[in-house]
């Protein structure tokens, strides 16, 4: 049995805390909000984010960062991506040399273009930083529905250890050394999911969704490989797998926000209605900057950026995508001579 700390008591942090508890580990969950801690401690249910999922009596909730971090075998960092750096900074005094910290959020910092693991390592250089990613909505993990994810780490022994800690009969865990590719896939798919939601909100059909998913992963993979990620990460669970679930699921906050915008709401109105952090909105500007930095064309991502921040009409954006210069689907495929 391990002693684990979970930093963040939202839907994903709570779902993973429940998973770890089921696996026999002792779990302490931290939240910055005393009201949330009181609610979870007293009602033993996150009624707004994981309704109907009961929380065991021996799972502890606290606002004391030191209590949640110090002397833990590993720590799960599950705060929304805009708060990753500031939370890591607050954790630093309590993190021991070599202590394992696994980030489970997805995003890219706009001003530095750093992934979340890079931000954490910069703030807590003594930590052994890993990531967990894949098609894994908290609502389903919390209910114990079969799910597969990937643990990425710099060291194989760290990945193998975390695989053992998280894996059970309904939560299958693979390992990978490609943290960069995993994080890029997990972050950029949220932008494509906004596009898929916008298309749904405008009443477009399955053909449109399939096109966005397929061409979306092509954009993500082009950029990711150019940045040093492995193509296998984009064709696997942390790439196309995560993209499919985020574009199609009723649980996807990014798809939902996009859907509301497709129906005519502003970005802010959509985010207010979703009532959770829509991480794709925060990643879009960073994705555009990465495309410019590495010289990689990102037509779908650029149109999402124009819709979000330049008041581009979604229908006009779709028309412009459809009327781009004609081209081959895969330039690497040669024509055979007759």
Contacts of 322 (CB under 8 A, 6+ apart): none
Residue 22 falls in the annotated catalytic set: no
Catalytic residue among 49, 189, 256, 303: 189
Q: What single DSSP character describes residue 134?
A: S
Closest among 22, 27, 15 to 52, alpha carbons compared: 15
Cα separation of 262 and 321, whole Å?
A: 16
CB 307 within 8 A of CB 317: yes
Closest among 193, 202, 310, 288 to 245, alpha carbons compared: 193
Cα separation of 292 and 305, whole Å?
A: 13
Own/partner pairs, 322-327, CB within 8 angstroms, 24+ separation:
324/299
CB 195 within 8 A of CB 216: yes
Measuring CA to CA, how many Å separate 85 from each of 6, 175, 259, 302?
A: 16, 25, 29, 26
CB 7 within 8 A of CB 27: no
Residues tagged active-site: 189
């Amino acid at each position: 049995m391990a002693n684990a700390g979970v930093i963040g008591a939202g839907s994903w942090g709570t779902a993973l805390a429940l998973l770890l508890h089921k696996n026999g580990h002792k779990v302490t969950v931290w939240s910055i909000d005393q009201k949330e801690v009181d609610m979870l401690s007293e009602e033993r249910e996150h009624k707004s984010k994981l309704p109907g999922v009961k929380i065991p009596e021996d799972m502890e909730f606290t606002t004391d960062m030191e209590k949640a971090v110090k002397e833990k075998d590993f720590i799960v960092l599950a705060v929304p991506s805009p708060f990753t750096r500031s939370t890591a900074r607050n954790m630093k005094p309590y993190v021991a040399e070599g202590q394992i910290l696994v980030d489970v959020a997805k995003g890219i910092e706009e001003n530095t273009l750093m992934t979340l693991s890079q931000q954490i390592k910069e703030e807590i250089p003594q930590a052994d930083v890993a990531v967990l990613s894949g098609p894994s909505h908290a609502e389903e993990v919390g209910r114990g529905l079969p799910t597969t994810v990937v643990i990425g780490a710099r060291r194989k022994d760290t990945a193998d250890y975390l695989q053992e800690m998280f894996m059970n009969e309904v939560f299958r865990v693979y390992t990978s050394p490609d943290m960069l590719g995993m994080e890029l896939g997990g972050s950029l798919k949220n932008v494509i999911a906004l596009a898929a939601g916008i298309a749904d909100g405008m009443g477009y059909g399955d053909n449109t969704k399939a096109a966005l998913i397929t061409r979306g992963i092509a954009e993500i993979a082009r950029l990711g490989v150019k940045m040093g990620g492995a193509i296998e990460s984009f064709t696997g669970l942390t790439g196309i797998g995560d993209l499919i679930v985020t574009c199609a699921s009723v649980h996807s906050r990014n798809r939902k926000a996009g859907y509301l915008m497709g129906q005519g709401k502003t970005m802010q109105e959509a985010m207010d209605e979703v009532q959770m952090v829509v991480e794709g909105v925060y990643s879009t500007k960073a994705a555009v900057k990465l495309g410019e930095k590495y010289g990689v064309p990102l037509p779908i991502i650029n149109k999402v950026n124009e819709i979000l921040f330049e008041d581009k009409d979604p229908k006009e954006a779709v028309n412009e995508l459809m009327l781009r210069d004609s081209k081959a689907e895969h330039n690497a495929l040669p024509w055979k001579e007759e």
